[in-house]
Structure 1
């Protein structure tokens, strides 16, 4: 049954429609001919399937099947390649948000060369396949009109540039700030947060400080690049976009060099034989499960995500809250061309349904539905570090995927001893036997084995 995607209502030119596992976009009469021209444009054909989502016109039978199930008049229907994972800008590490910004600007410049423009500059127009950015909003392309300004300028500054600058200048991760306001970071507030030295940057002056002053003066959320009167020559528009692209490319994150978990793969309490036990267990689990999509909870630098790919997983989503570890995982995926997408999540507060009617942006567990999950050295951080109820933590992990590999870390382990050192042991029910009982209550335990000399134990389950 075809149905509108709840997050696609803002575009008056069309809507995204889901029909089973297929993704369609229905287009209004006013936009149909222009969209056909976009699909035939050389820049679009060059990039389709590589950096623009693969798109085609379906058969008349499929078109009628879609349009007959939804209200409205839509003379043109196009179909997109289905992406296995949908992620959001507030979940991306710095390098991926930067990569998405660069792609947006590069595509805009290339489209202008062939007589097309972009109507907006939303960060949600980009998705990732592994660490490769993919532009997905075909309807944001339109024919260029002589003298046009960059209509998505303010949006680009708020959804791309401002979060990057917060981390580049202040070393403050943007993720939670961004999640708190789905439209990005307010430029007036950012101008107050940036250090004095940022004022010596011509680009920061133009795109943040002067922009913020303009917004305060007009007291509106429609602050643009310049006044509405007059026209902007095409060469000037291209120059502005190239300048922004150069500025974005120059940005580097601060404060990620020495994060606690970044080098955990190499600096931990495991003996060499313990590390090999764990790798053997992961390899055997993945070879048996053969997941199309695997989620690696607490992925650190992506060591076990890489191992999972080698063992037969087609792709993985690596989840962590440590920014340095996520950047290391991105580098690993890039260097070895691995289908790994590292994203930011606090497992005690994962991305929830947000936006209009709490349905515009789906929750993490709605968008990421893996065939298997691995959670190594994660459970004690939830149960002891964050006081998540024992049964609830296990059930959440089991609900995430039909098959999984979970590691239990006992109180005798040095890591748990360190966590208990300054708070006392009030976790009387934190035992291996209790873990086994709770896991058996919601799933079938298919195997278990010791994974370290300190008593860590790995369990595999099936729902």
Structure 2
């Protein structure tokens, strides 16, 4: 049995997480056991676990903990959590998923408040998505509140990590996920302030969340010695009312901002404007459905999923689906539908040509998308995406097929779109001479180096073909 301490859990003084083969164990250090044992016994927390808002857990018997982790755990309190199999990060979430994580965080604050409990931090890294459903995973972020304390110390962190990224996405069309590649703990108000016009700085919602905090910062600097001193009110109900009002105001701002105000881009309406005729698209659907019916893959990666039509088909056949696209707007639309239909689909903003890098301390806190994906899926779908990688991103065909063979352990469904196709020509922009070598024979030859072609079918008059393949030496 191999025990590996999770590299993202080293910052928490109260405990850490260990992965033991396919089990996930949270270890609470001895000096924090009494506080958390009381919390773990509360009915409201168990209600949140049952409703999937908080990651479910069970307390391990000390003998089981010692058997798993050794005698170092004898004095600790150990919890076993259900593993969320494919972790994702805010740098891969569209606006809608970040808003969902924000709403969950505030909802838990509101639920915990009457029970004398609060959240000591408010980071989106406390949330993972189980399919399309957000789940709060860090039980050690809860702490016992001091009655009469009207301050939520995590308020600033919530603004930096949730509110400001949402606002600049909605008002300035700057996708919120991009900021998390630059800032570990969210966007500072000063950064947003420099983005705003003089007029915008004094309009809602920026005046209260950006401008006034910056104006007050100088005064706060002068009062730094007393600024973080706890100020306990004599009336606990008044303190509770202040916090309830804060949580409600933040929730309203997130809710009002969760609807996109900028126009759709060209890819968000691709399914309505693509070049397939209705019978051609039907043939494509039948091809995919026949593969899913016969092979029943358990985990499917849909690369370049767009609106996710084929992701939903795969999910209906029982697969766990991760659907990726570089367009945050279509990924957001896909997430809303998957959440509404309770589909087992995790939509992510990922560009395979420039996938999410590893991040954090020593590049180990958060794995790259490739590190998480390689070997995880038993089927990969690359539908109408190869020509984009080939032309737009200038990735050699040999590298595209090589990467595909690492992403799947068995099946690949891939679509050939040739130089005569109108969409291919649209991407070429006068560079036809650079791709005179590319045709279906070259495509099949390259695919055959790593996959066995089991079936192929022409599905469109423009020369589009679908291929069902199986990786050579698949186990």
Q: Do they superpose with TM above 0.5? A: yes
Q: Which residue of 2 aligns with 1:36?
A: 37
Deviation at 1:194, TM superposition (A): 3.1
Structure 1 residue 313 corresponds to structure 2 residue 318: yes
Return the alpha-carbon distance in structure 2 between the equivalents of residues 316 and 131 of structure 1: 10
SS at structure 2 position matched to 1:179 = coil
Structure 1 residue 58 corresponds to structure 2 residue 66: no
Larger deviation: 76-85 or 34-43?
A: 34-43
Structure 1 residue 234 corresponds to structure 2 residue 240: yes
- Residue segments in structure 1 that go unaligned for 5+ positions in a row: none
2:174 corresponds, among 172, 181, 202, to 172
SS at structure 1 position matched to 2:449 = helix
Return the alpha-carbon distance in structure 2 between the equivalents of residues 408 and 289 of structure 1: 21
Larger deviation: 392-401 or 417-426?
A: 417-426
Deviation at 1:200, TM superposition (A): 4.5
CA contact (8 A) 2:171 2:262 kept: no
Q: Which residue of 2 aligns with 1:412?
A: 420
Return the alpha-carbon distance in structure 1 between the equivalents of residues 395 and 286 of structure 2: 29
Return the alpha-carbon distance in structure 1 between the equivalents of residues 315 and 170 of structure 2: 32
CA contact (8 A) 1:150 1:225 kept: no
The alignment yields a C-alpha RMSD, in angstroms, of 2.4
Return the alpha-carbon distance in structure 2 between the equivalents of residues 362 and 125 of structure 1: 16
Q: Would the alpha carbon gap of residues 217 and 169 (structure 1) be closer, same or farther in structure 2, given more than 3 Å must change?
A: farther
TM-score (normalizing by structure 1): 0.93
Show CA shifts across 1:357-381 (max 9, x none): 0111111123342221111000000
Deviation at 1:323, TM superposition (A): 2.5
CA contact (8 A) 1:188 1:215 kept: no
Show CA shifts across 1:157-216 (max 9, x none): 111111101112112212222222232222210122134554445653232222234456
Q: Which residue of 2 aligns with 1:390?
A: 397
Larger deviation: 353-362 or 199-208?
A: 199-208
Deviation at 1:83, TM superposition (A): 0.7
CA contact (8 A) 2:99 2:258 kept: no
CA contact (8 A) 2:413 2:467 kept: yes
Matches within 5 A, 1:17-416: 17-49=18-50, 50-68=52-70, 74-148=75-149, 149-196=151-198, 198-201=200-203, 203-215=205-217, 228=229, 230-231=231-232, 233-254=239-260, 256-310=262-316, 312-368=317-373, 369-402=376-409, 403-416=411-424
Deviation at 1:231, TM superposition (A): 3.4
Return the alpha-carbon distance in structure 1 between the equivalents of residues 350 and 221 of structure 2: 35
CA contact (8 A) 2:415 2:465 kept: yes
Larger deviation: 208-217 or 18-27?
A: 208-217
Q: Would the alpha carbon gap of residues 117 and 131 (structure 1) be closer, same or farther in structure 2, given more than 3 Å must change?
A: same
Q: Would the alpha carbon gap of residues 35 and 289 (structure 1) be closer, same or farther in structure 2, given more than 3 Å must change?
A: farther
Deviation at 1:385, TM superposition (A): 1.2
Return the alpha-carbon distance in structure 2 between the equivalents of residues 46 and 109 of structure 1: 14
Q: Would the alpha carbon gap of residues 437 and 335 (structure 1) be closer, same or farther in structure 2, given more than 3 Å must change?
A: same
CA contact (8 A) 2:102 2:254 kept: yes
Show CA shifts across 1:83-129 (max 9, x none): 12211112111111001101101101111110111111111101112
SS at structure 2 position matched to 1:329 = helix
Return the alpha-carbon distance in structure 2 between the equivalents of residues 345 and 443 of structure 1: 24
CA contact (8 A) 2:420 2:462 kept: yes
Q: Would the alpha carbon gap of residues 285 and 203 (structure 1) be closer, same or farther in structure 2, given more than 3 Å must change?
A: same
CA contact (8 A) 1:297 1:319 kept: yes
CA contact (8 A) 2:304 2:323 kept: yes
Return the alpha-carbon distance in structure 1 between the equivalents of residues 248 and 166 of structure 2: 17
Deviation at 1:334, TM superposition (A): 3.1
CA contact (8 A) 1:28 1:73 kept: no
Deviation at 1:73, TM superposition (A): 6.8
CA contact (8 A) 2:96 2:336 kept: no
Return the alpha-carbon distance in structure 2 between the equivalents of residues 322 and 93 of structure 1: 9
Show CA shifts across 1:266-292 (max 9, x none): 221101121011111111222233222
Q: Would the alpha carbon gap of residues 418 and 106 (structure 1) be closer, same or farther in structure 2, given more than 3 Å must change?
A: same
